[in-house]
Structure 1
Amino acid sequence: MKFKGIIFDLDGTLVNSLEDISDAMNTVLTGLNYPTHTYDIYQYFIGSGLRNLVSKALPASNNSDKQIEICFDCMINEYREVCTIKTKPYEGIITLLDNLFSRNIKLAVFSNKADELTKKIAAEIFPNYFDAAVGLSTEELKKPNPFEALEISKNWNLKPEEILFVGDSDIDMQTAINANMFAVGVSWGYRTEEELIGSGAKVVINKPSELIEIL
């Protein structure tokens, strides 16, 4: 089947945002006199939304729902100001998007990052490439819930089977399966190839240009 559309995850797939996310959360933790974490640790906190990241970053002794909510608001405020300072596209991504755009492949972003921030980063770093950039608006619609992915396919007037879902995490692969889309894992993100394959990836690519071969 000829694939006609691609939905990309954002963090760890299109952009390396690890340092900006980590720096913002560590600023919040430092302000509360809580222990901070290294970039390597944050790598495993990313993927299930910033609220979940906040919960994982807080000390177990200060992890009440109220504290998570307070720190989440602080994290969003801090991250909003720094979310494109160190965040950059992975090598080869812009070339890939140019290639796909020239082929009239429909392109979208679906992230578990807050919707406001997903749209901000997509617009500033990738202007004019994507038909839609959808982030998290409510916890119920968080990946691996396929609702937003299926809404994108409806707006494109494409069958789910005609769409590649590209991501770097187990959650992305589960989302693709739940949406009946073709799951493509990327090895340059925040998870291992073994984890991606174990979570349902049909194929794992090692550089962006390999996506063209799938098409």
Structure 2
Amino acid sequence: MLKGIIFDLDGTLVNSHYDWKLIRTKIGVVDIPILSYINGLNRTLKKRALRILESFEKSATENALLNKGVPALFSYLSKKGIRRAIVTNNSRKSVKYLLRKWNLVFDTIVTRDDGIWKPSGKPLELALERLGLRKEEIVFVGDSNPDRIAAEAAGIRFISINDAAGIEAIYSLIEDDNYLMTL
């Protein structure tokens, strides 16, 4: 039985626009994931790179749009007693800003500030631990390949969505326990 849903943030619940090419240029990243690159820097360069990333992140979150159907879905999940978590590679500061902006409540939030990020499965495992649930009681909803890889690494069922129609599909997935058991 489904007892909790872990959500990705960008592209899943909210639509925020990042100029990844410009961010990579400003930070000096060529062909590896930005957070992996930043994590390998010395303290001074790491601090500078994080400031650049956070500046772009601030702009993207201020202009982000909540995906259609999210408030109604969250009301439905509350009525069903289904717990919610966010696992995102964003900063905690930007996540809290968005949650306040749209009055969204989660049982736990895991961000890059926890020192782990997708595509590792560790952020999902941390969310699972904080929720006090088992892998078979959870599904991870995301929109990207790193989300899928993280779910596989953690051994958690994954549902890929990327628009309002995907949000709407979650209702039938919750009601169809047989489907969830086969994911």
Please say whether Structure 1 and Structure 2 have the same fold, judged by a TM-score greater than 0.5: yes
Q: Percent identity?
A: 24
Match of 1:106 among 57, 72, 83: 83
1:122 and 2:99 are equivalent in the alignment: yes
- Give me the CA root mean square deviation: 3.2
TM-score for the superposition, normalised by structure 2: 0.75
Gaps of at least 5 residues in structure 1 are 30-44, 55-64, 189-204
Task: Work out whether residues 119 and 134 of structure 1, in 8 Å CA contact, stay in contact via their aligned partners in 2.
Answer: no
1:213 is aligned to 172
Match of 1:132 among 108, 121, 125: 108
Structure that is richer in helix per residue: 2
Q: CA deviation at 1:88?
A: 1.2
Match of 1:76 among 51, 54, 63: 54
Which string of whole-angstrom CA distances, capped at 9 and with x for unpartnered residues, describes residues 53-88 of structure 1?
Answer: 99xxxxxxxxxx5897434423314533x3443201
1:174 is aligned to 149
Of 144-153 and 86-95, the range deviating more from structure 2: 144-153
Aligned residue pair count: 166
* Distance in 2, Cα, partners of 1:179 & 1:88: 29
TM-score for the superposition, normalised by structure 1: 0.65
1:156 and 1:165, CA in 2 relative to 1: closer, same or farther beyond 3 A? same
1:57 is aligned to none
Larger relative contact order (Cα-Cα within 8 Å, sequence gap ≥ 6): 2
Q: CA deviation at 1:105?
A: 0.4
1:85 is aligned to 62
Gaps of at least 5 residues in structure 2 are 175-183
